[in-house]
């Protein structure tokens, strides 16, 4: 008889929990001995839903994309698929600020590609020159060399500076809270590169793909739309995971892992705060790369240096509740994104209760205002009171929000958004190569292959499979 594998999971966010759950799925009869270590007082990491005075507040992520199957798939396996809800079709549009006024993003505009001509022609976002330059994309030859390039360079090359400044920067920046001049297109939105390579032009590609996309939407996405969440908020997924794994897995909260030592006999000696050191055969590290770097520095200097090459941005979200009567703007969209060229002090406002039902009481609205990120790091450093004040002023000027809010909650996410800068794929390749020198150590989380919840779940599940199968 072989003794069961001892597996440690470092980090109790969605990635760590998904890894724990996958370990149980893989070994229902003879489970490994699994311990999860979480530095904070609760599991869930950046995912956090709160109930307050009839509002359901999302302090971190508020939804996930459904065309990546791992979040929906996990909900299905956990038996909570019936709790998934789609976005509200009545408000499925976005606004972008142009000269201080919210303007509708042209219909059919997908992150950087105009799929339809007429909405672009009538849009007040672009000048006639900008529209003409965008149209030239149809005739521009595809780039031949395959070196990584920034999102900004790609958009400038294909569509011109105006499209980058007025629409793509705030739309894509909103997802990655990143500087498009540094963001790697290959690591974040490779499908646009494929469109260019296969069709010569993104406009041509999106027009020919329109029919297929519609069919796909019906096949999978239509059930939930492109984005979905759980009726009670994203925390429901954390709760379901924690309930499923906790009978079989030891979950240690308030237990930051402070040291990791490879043993000559194989395995690792792991020390968590206030606990005696323990030996594990496998360790799944789901914490940010700078934390992994701290842990491996004493025995893997080169690896820790490579891990530190990945940068992180910090962001603040101010979640606030308002009476609709106190808001001049009809808020007839999912949210407003703000180009850097508008020189405002906020990045975006999500109209949370327009996206999903039951997020605010009747006659009220929940807003989530994003501050800081890679584009405005100076605003992350200000106090909570100053942040609230700044947000109040911006909401008043941009959306006509007046009166006293029902509540304002400031949620801070220091060094929480990994930045997939140009060269990210090569950087991750090197990190993985160096990790190969330490069998039994597995990396997972949003720092490597995708930043959203579905990717994090996938990476946790993948790491669990590798840990059990020993590769
Ligand atoms: C503000 C914000 C909004 C987002 N919105 C969306 C969205 O709407 N949709 C979407 O799909 N994605 C969104 N994302 C991305 C998504 O939330 C993350 O990719 C995902 O939650 C990452 O999960 P994780 O478990 O890898 O990391 P985390 O949630 O960061 O968890 C890591 C955990 O490790 C713990 N830890 C750190 N150091 C140690 C240590 N030494 N020992 C033990 N534990 C340690 C931390 O306390 C933390 O709990 C958002 C992210 C942020 C920050």
pLDDT of 122-135, one tens digit each? 889 999 999 999 98
State pLDDT tens for residues 384-417. 999 999 999 999 999 999 999 999 999 999 999 9
Q: Looking at residues 353-357, what average pLDDT do you find? A: 95
Report d(CA 247, CA 260) in Å as an integer. 26
Residue identified by tokens 């405005």 is: 376
234 lines ligand 1 (CB under 6 A): no
Choice among 116-120, 268-272, 298-302, 367-371 with the minimum mean pLDDT: 116-120
The domain total for the chain is: 3
* Closest-lying ligand 1 atom to the alpha carbon of residue 59: 1
62 lines ligand 1 (CB under 6 A): yes
Query: Is the whole-model pTM more than 0.85?
Result: yes
Range of the domain at 191: 106-223
What pLDDT shows up at residue 219?
Answer: 42
What pLDDT shows up at residue 127?
Answer: 93
Ligand 1 center–CA 42 separation, angstroms? 12
- Domain for residue 98, yes or no? no
Angle, vertex CA 389, rays to CA 407 and CA 173, nearest 5: 90
Q: Are residue 199 and residue 60 in the same domain, yes or no?
A: no
Predicted confidence (pLDDT) at residue 255 exceeds the cutoff of 70: yes
* Closest-lying ligand 1 atom to the alpha carbon of residue 454: 11
Among residues 459, 453, 464, the alpha carbon closest in space to that of 48 is found at: 453
Pocket residue to mutate for ligand 1, from 10, 275, 287, 346, most atoms within 8 A of Cβ: 287
Q: What is the CATH number of the domain that holds 462?
A: 3.50.50.60
State pLDDT tens for residues 157-166. 999 999 999 9
Q: Looking at residues 111-115, what average pLDDT do you find? A: 76
What pLDDT shows up at residue 38?
Answer: 98
* Closest-lying ligand 1 atom to the alpha carbon of residue 18: 25
Predicted confidence (pLDDT) at residue 366 exceeds the cutoff of 50: yes
Q: Looking at residues 185-207, what average pLDDT do you find? A: 88
CA atoms within 13 A on the CB side of 178: 26
150 lines ligand 1 (CB under 6 A): no
Ligand 1, atom 6: nearest CA belongs to which residue?
Answer: 61
Ligand 1 center–CA 46 separation, angstroms? 4
Q: Are residue 318 and residue 347 in the same domain, yes or no?
A: yes
- Domain for residue 152, yes or no? yes
Pocket residue to mutate for ligand 1, from 9, 43, 60, most atoms within 8 A of Cβ: 60
CA atoms within 13 A on the CB side of 96: 26
What pLDDT shows up at residue 214?
Answer: 55
Q: Looking at residues 460-467, what average pLDDT do you find? A: 97
Report d(CA 390, CA 375) in Å as an integer. 17
Residue identified by tokens 């009747």 is: 362
Q: Are residue 172 and residue 28 in the same domain, yes or no?
A: no
Q: State the chain's mean pLDDT as an integer.
A: 92
Ligand 1 center–CA 94 separation, angstroms? 26
Q: Are residue 398 and residue 345 in the same domain, yes or no?
A: yes
What pLDDT shows up at residue 211?
Answer: 57
């Amino acid at each position: 008889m072989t003794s069961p594998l001892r597996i440690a999971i470092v980090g109790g966010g969605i990635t760590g929990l998904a890894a724990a759950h996958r370990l149980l799925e893989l070994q229902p009869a003879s489970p490994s001995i699994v311990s999860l270590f979480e530095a904070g007082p609760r599991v869930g990491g950046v995912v956090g839903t709160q109930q307050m005075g009839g509002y359901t507040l999302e302090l971190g992520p508020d939804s996930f994309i459904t065309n990546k199957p791992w979040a929906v798939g996990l909900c299905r396996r956990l038996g909570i698929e019936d709790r998934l809800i789609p976005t509200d079709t009545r408000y499925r549009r976005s606004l972008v600020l142009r000269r201080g006024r919210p303007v509708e993003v042209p219909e059919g505009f997908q992150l950087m590609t105009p799929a339809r001509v007429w909405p672009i022609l009538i849009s007040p976002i672009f000048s006639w020159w900008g529209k003409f330059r965008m149209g030239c994309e149809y005739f521009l030859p595809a780039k031949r060399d395959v070196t990584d390039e920034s999102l900004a360079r790609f958009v400038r090359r294909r569509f011109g500076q105006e499209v980058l400044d007025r629409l793509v920067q705030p739309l894509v920046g909103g997802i990655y809270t990143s500087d498009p001049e540094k963001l790697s297109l290959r690591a974040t939105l490779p499908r646009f590169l494929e469109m260019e390579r296969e069709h010569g032009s993104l406009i041509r590609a999106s027009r020919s793909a329109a029919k297929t996309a519609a069919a796909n939407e019906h096949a999978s996405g239509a059930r939930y739309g492109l984005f979905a969440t759980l009726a009670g908020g994203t925390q429901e997924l954390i709760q379901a995971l924690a309930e499923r794994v906790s009978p079989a897995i030891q979950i240690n909260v308030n237990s930051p892992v402070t040291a990791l030592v490879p043993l000559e006999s194989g395995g690792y000696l792991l020390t968590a705060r206030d606990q005696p050191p323990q030996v594990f055969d496998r360790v799944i590290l789901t914490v940010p790369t700078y934390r992994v770097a701290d842990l491996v520095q004493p025995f893997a200097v080169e690896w820790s240096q490579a891990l530190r090459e990945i940068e992180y941005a910090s962001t603040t979200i101010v979640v606030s509740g308002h009476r609709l009567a106190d808001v001049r703007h009809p808020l007839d969209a999912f949210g407003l994104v703000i180009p850097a060229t508008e020189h405002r002090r906020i990045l975006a406002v999500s109209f949370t209760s327009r996206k999903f039902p039951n997020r605010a009481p009747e006659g009220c609205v929940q807003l989530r205002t994003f501050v800081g990120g890679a584009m405005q790091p100076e605003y992350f450093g200000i106090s909570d009171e100053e942040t609230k004040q700044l947000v109040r002023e911006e909401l008043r000027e941009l959306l006509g929000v007046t009166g006293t809010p029902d509540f304002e909650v400031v949620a801070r996410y220091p060094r929480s958004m990994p930045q997939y800068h140009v060269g990210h794929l090569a950087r991750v390749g090197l990190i993985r190569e160096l990790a190969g020198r330490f069998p039994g150590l597995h990396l997972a989380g949003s720092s490597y292959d995708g930043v959203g919840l579905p990717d994090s779940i996938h990476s946790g599940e993948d790491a669990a499979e590798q840990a059990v199968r020993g590769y």
